[in-house]
Amino acid sequence: MLKSFQHYIDGEFSDAATTFESVDPATGVAWATMPAASADDVDRAVKAADRALFAPEWAGLTASQRGKLLYRLADLVAANAQELAQLETTDTGKIIRETRSQIGYVAEYYRYYAGVADKIQGACLPVDKPDMDVFLRREPVGVVAGIVPWNSQLFLSAVKVGPALAAGCTIVLKASEEGPAPLLAFARLVHEAGFPAGVVNILTGFGADCGRALTSHPLVSKIAFTGGPETARQIVRNSAGNLAATSLELGGKSPVLVFDDANVDSVSNAVIAGIFAASGQSCVAGSRLLVQRGIRDRLLARLVEKAQAIRIGDPQEVDTEMGPLATRKQRDHIEAVLAASLQAGATLLTGGGRPAGRGEGFFFEPTIVDCPTSTVPSVAQELFGPVLSVMTFDTEAQAIALANDTKYGLASGVFTRDLTLAHRLTRRLRAGIVWVNTYRAVSPIVPFGGYGLSGLGREGGLDAVLEYTRTKSVWIRTSDEPIADPFVMR
């Protein structure tokens, strides 16, 4: 029998009127049934969040008390990391070593926001009126609609749930219909942590019924979305009626710039991790390698060697280094774009197909292609898969031009031993993250977000919490004298 999951709405677990099957990407076989939220389910969840927002069980808590609930949730995430990791691996195909490591670190994000909860401060303003005291209060923005994609759902939800709850908001979290198991299971930890009913609601479903109803709901005050630009445009259109504030963490086509003086061993390890970790299904994947001519041949030889040595296999096995793509549709898309890229003049250096012996799973080989121009489809389009597009440059100016020749701007990497060069590049690269001599480093303390089609707003760090608040200006007259008659001229 298939494993069955439920929604979590208003403090209770409930079935949906309709369900759908979720497929294990490693086998291509359905393994669980998921609830498909209807517009009525969404309405019930949003109304529960709105009630909870003003109920004394939540609104009456001090900031420190909210923080203690988040600390409890963090401990539960850490204690249940093994189970959550297995569910994420089964439902998305991400290898078990990655899911265990990432979910363990997710707990640190909740701990960070637990500590931030009572650090959200207002201000006293020195206005130009001597008989007035004016101060600013920061108050929760309201009901939040959080929407996350199938990759790294527990991490991408933590950077929404954590700051939202720290600020005193309530949230309706929509898990992706692709691989929602870990987030639906996470609801049990929310319940066990003791959050009042309605503060956190978790459901899943499809865009037409669930997503549109959630983002257009009149009681939603903020939308926090991670996904692709086209869905983001639809969300912005949906929010025209409720005028909800939006933060959009979208995709990327991140460049990694390697200069002749870089350490080849260090660079090759970083590039391999940056593009083939999570089978390339990461918004910050370093999918464009820009390499200076003098180091090019040595580096590409090393990368091809490493790519061909990657162990592809069952994502539940600890020795596996790369698992399948999350969906059949994603694999088909990558194959089509790669074929168009080769037709456009790219040269295949390694990979490019489905590995032998993997049955019906959605596997795709680690792939490296040498590309003559930025117009090659694999260079221009976000593939969300294990495909590295390589381009060559001679000068610093050429490197910057190639790096910025994209409509995205989420992340970038720079590898050089020249400190002055590195500083120049950090100023000129149009990206929300610049990693120098490293890649994919993260911390709860550090905000992340993008330029251009990579989105609006920031997640992570203290900046993120403030995006879940709004300021209230309070004027207090301190004079005992009567207010002057406005119709008496003086």
Q: What is the pLDDT of residue 489?
A: 77
Residue 29, H or E segment: strand 29-36
**Nearest residue to 393 via CA among 259, 210, 250:** 259
Q: What is the pLDDT of residue 313?
A: 95
pLDDT digits (tens, 9 = 90+) for 263-321: 999 999 999 999 999 999 999 999 999 999 999 999 999 999 999 999 999 999 999 99
Backbone φ, ψ for residue 147 (5° rounding) = -130, 125
Length of the chain measured in residues: 490
**Nearest residue to 116 via CA among 166, 45, 82, 77:** 166
**Nearest residue to 451 via CA among 484, 386, 406:** 406
- Residue 185, pLDDT above cutoff 80: yes
pLDDT grade, residue 61 (50/70/90)? very high
Q: How far apart are alpha carbons 168 and 117 in whole angstroms?
A: 8
The CATH H-level superfamily of 255-436 is Aldehyde Dehydrogenase; Chain A, domain 2 (3.40.309.10)
pLDDT digits (tens, 9 = 90+) for 4-37: 999 999 999 999 999 999 999 999 999 999 999 9
Mean pLDDT score, 96-106: 94
pLDDT digits (tens, 9 = 90+) for 413-451: 999 999 999 999 999 999 999 999 999 999 999 999 999
Dihedral sign, CA of 136, 140, 142, 145?
positive
Q: What is the pLDDT of residue 208?
A: 85
pLDDT grade, residue 133 (50/70/90)? very high
**Nearest residue to 73 via CA among 108, 29, 125:** 108
Q: What is the pLDDT of residue 359?
A: 87
Residue 134, H or E segment: strand 132-140
What are the C-alpha distances in Å from 148 to residues 55, 74, 130, 205, 337? Answer: 27, 19, 49, 12, 25
Q: Is the whole-model pTM more than 0.75?
A: yes
Q: Can you tell me which residue has the tokens 């690269």?
A: 429
**Nearest residue to 394 via CA among 266, 288, 303, 260:** 260
Fold of 3-250+450-474: Aldehyde Dehydrogenase; Chain A, domain 1 (3.40.605)
CATH 3.40.605.10 domain residues, the chain: 3-250+450-474
Report the half-sphere exposure of 14 (CA within 13 A, side-chain side).
17
Q: What is the pLDDT of residue 463?
A: 84
pLDDT digits (tens, 9 = 90+) for 42-52: 999 999 999 99
CATH 3.40.309.10 domain residues, the chain: 255-436
Which residue out of 249, 365, 382, 459 is catalytically annotated?
249
**171 bridge partner residues:** 144, 200
Backbone φ, ψ for residue 35 (5° rounding) = -75, 135
Q: How far apart are alpha carbons 168 and 147 in whole angstroms?
A: 19
Q: Is 127 exposed, middle or buried (0-12, 13-18, 19+ CB in 10 A)?
A: exposed
Mean pLDDT score, 483-489: 88
Mean pLDDT score, 101-110: 95
Q: Is 98 exposed, middle or buried (0-12, 13-18, 19+ CB in 10 A)?
A: buried
- Residue 333, pLDDT above cutoff 90: yes
Clarify whether 459 is annotated catalytic: no
Give percent of the chain above pLDDT 70. Answer: 100
Backbone φ, ψ for residue 202 (5° rounding) = -130, 125
- Residue 212, pLDDT above cutoff 90: yes
Token pair listed for 76: 């539960």
Q: Quickly list DSSP for 354-374.
A: PPTT-TTS-----EEEE-SST
Q: Can you tell me which residue has the tokens 């390694």?
A: 350
Q: How far apart are alpha carbons 451 and 254 in whole angstroms?
A: 11
Mean pLDDT score, 313-337: 96
**Nearest residue to 381 via CA among 285, 237, 267:** 285
Mean pLDDT, rounded, of the chain: 96
Residue 140, H or E segment: strand 132-140
pLDDT grade, residue 207 (50/70/90)? confident
Q: How far apart are alpha carbons 422 and 293 in whole angstroms?
A: 18
Backbone φ, ψ for residue 11 (5° rounding) = 80, 10
